[in-house]
Amino acid sequence: MTDSVVTRFAPSPTGFLHIGGARTALFNWLYAKKRGGKMLLRIEDTDRERSTEPAIAAILDGLKWLELDWDDDVIYQFSRAARHREVAEQLLACGKAYRCYATAEELAAMREKARAEGRTRLYDGMWRDRDPGEAPGGMKPTIRLKAPQTGETVIEDQVQGRVVWQNENLDDLVLLRGDGNPTYMLAVVVDDHDMGVTHVIRGDDHLINAARQKQIYDALGWDIPNMSHIPLIHGPDGSKLSKRHGALGVDAYRAMGYLPAALRNYLVRLGWSHGDQEIFSTQEMIDAFDLPAIGRSAARFDFAKLENLNGHYIRHAEDGALVAQFESVLDYVPGGAELKAKLNDTTRAQLLRAMPSLKERAKTLIELISGADFIFADRPLQIEPKASALLTPDTRALIGQLRTALEAVTDWRAETTESAMRNFAEQNNLKLGAVAQPLRVALTGRTTSPGIFDVLAVLGREECLARLGDQAAT
């Protein structure tokens, strides 16, 4: 029987779910789904000072928005501290760990000396083989791993390949602090083991930790999970990802009007490829995803690409689904509450009718909202300055005539209003544009909008006649 795959996403709730974390979660999710396994979620809240409730809430919320569901209950690392202590004691009991009574001053001096001698191993092993009987009274010791001092520690990484460390360069790391709190390094190993994690997929900033963790696994006689350390995301110029380049929380992407499916598609291609395929449905992603296909060099974040992809997803989305996305993003954008208050059966139906034309022009939900402004505008409309300049007395008179011509249309559709307007233009020796532009100004308050006959159809007869009446010369 082969063991089923268990991956985990293990964010530290010291900040919001940032874009790199979201990609790590996605890779873990995809791998678990592909293998019919589970993705677990562990909140690494051992750092009590820097972990916050709002950050935990934002991580859960961000994952839900991205539709990356985890299996089983969320595991909070801090709640497992007693178990971490137990394992440290176990290592102590079998001679794989020892109590260290070095003072802060002694440790500082060791570090200084190691630096001066250009060594990466900082701790000199002063309590490694010393008789605990010599321990100074009244001092709470740390527990350190009795790490091997010769030989190599090797990680066979799915992404990085075989990575080798010389043990002489690695410290006897602290497992339990003087105050009895487990270190992060110990907690991760014990949790991954107890949770039955088979595959660790995380950022390559944790590669060195993998070596340290491997030594703990070895001391415990446990198998190390299969490791994949994925390159971090950099800015478009190859530098560290900055806010300007997209180092933002997932919530910021929601507020910028990206669709979760588009963001997932963008993220999966960030460091992973499958031939030259760019667009992946969720199922295609699951089927094609694999760890060795992740590249070794840093991926570059490209806003323009994300925006184009989002435009693709918007154009191909179902109209009803877009109305739902439109509604849900209103909670996160400036002015959204005001628009939300105007959503009712009528405006929802208008929005749905407008969607085929709106979605052709929008790369984000924000652009979609802006395109749909005309639906929610209160009468009399506020006319944009550029549009207002067109409202000369002649134009206002023309708008009055157009209103009269449209009033005669009873079967109100894009086609019937269009033919009424074409007839009017012909009879009055006007080009269609000379009719369409005043209509647009009066109906939307702008000089650009979706196709004007779509606007007429979306707003409906009564509202159109009223808006035209507002601008017509009396």
Residue 99 within binding range of ligand GLU, rule CB under 6 A: no
Q: Does 171 bind ligand GLU (CB under 6 A)?
A: no
Regarding 372 and contact with ligand GLU (CB under 6 A), the answer is no
Asked if residue 172 binds ligand GLU (CB under 6 A), the reply is no
113 known ligand binder: no
* Using rule CB under 6 A, residue 12 touches ligand GLU: yes
Residue 251 near residue 62, CB atoms below 8 Å: yes
Q: What is the token pair recorded at 354?
A: 């407008």
**Residue 465 and residue 474: Cα distance in Å, rounded?**
14
260 upstream amide cis, omega within 30 of 0: no
State how far the Cα of 369 lies from the Cα of 261, in Å rounded to an integer.
19
Structure tokens, 132: 């605990």
Strands 38-43 and 6-9 come out as: parallel
Interface residue with ligand GLU, options 10, 145, 211, 436 (CB under 6 A): 10
Q: Which amino acid is at 345?
A: D
**Quick check: 92 and 127 in contact, CB under 8 A?**
no
Say which amino acid occupies 190: V
Residues from 417 through 456 that contact ligand GLU (CB under 6 A): none
User: Which residue number, 10 or 22, has a Cβ lying nearer to ligand GLU?
Assistant: 10
Nearer to ligand GLU, 13 or 257 (CB): 13
Q: Which helix (H) or strand (E) holds 250?
A: helix 250-255
199 part of the interface to ligand GLU, by CB under 6 A: no
Are 330 and 301 in contact, with CB atoms under 8 Å apart?
Answer: no
- CA dist 191 and 77 (Å) reads 8
Residue from 44, 45, 157, 418 binding ligand GLU (CB under 6 A): 44
- Contacts with 317 (C-beta within 8 Å, 6 or more apart), sequence order: 259, 325, 359
Interactions with ligand GLU, residue window 173-192 (CB under 6 A): 188
For tokens 């992973």, the residue is: 272
Based on the shown chain and the rule CB under 6 A, indicate whether residue 202 belongs to the binding site for ligand GLU: yes
Nearer to ligand GLU, 59 or 375 (CB): 59
Judge contact between 122 and 111, C-beta under 8 A: yes
Smallest distance, Å, CB 388 to ligand GLU?
53
Position among 5, 6, 7, 11 found at the interface with ligand GLU (CB under 6 A):
11
β-partners of residue 226 are 199
Residue nearest to ligand GLU according to CB distances in the complex: 202
How do 233-234 and 299-300 pair as beta strands?
A: parallel
Q: Cβ 216 to ligand GLU, closest distance in Å?
A: 13
**Type of residue numbered 262:** A
Q: Is 243 designated active site?
A: yes
* Cβ distance to ligand GLU smaller for residue 11 or 271: 11
Query: Which entry of 38, 140, 243, 305 is annotated as an active-site residue?
Result: 243
Nearer to ligand GLU, 46 or 350 (CB): 46
Identity of the residue, 207 or 293, whose beta carbon is nearer to ligand GLU in the bound complex: 207
# residues contacting ligand GLU (CB under 6 A):
7
Nearest distance in Å: CB 12, ligand GLU? 4
User: Would you tell me which residues interact with ligand GLU (CB under 6 A)?
Assistant: 10-12, 44, 188, 202, 206
What residue numbers does the annotated binding site for ATP cover?
A: 243
What residue numbers does the annotated binding site cover?
A: 243
Please identify every residue annotated as catalytic. 243
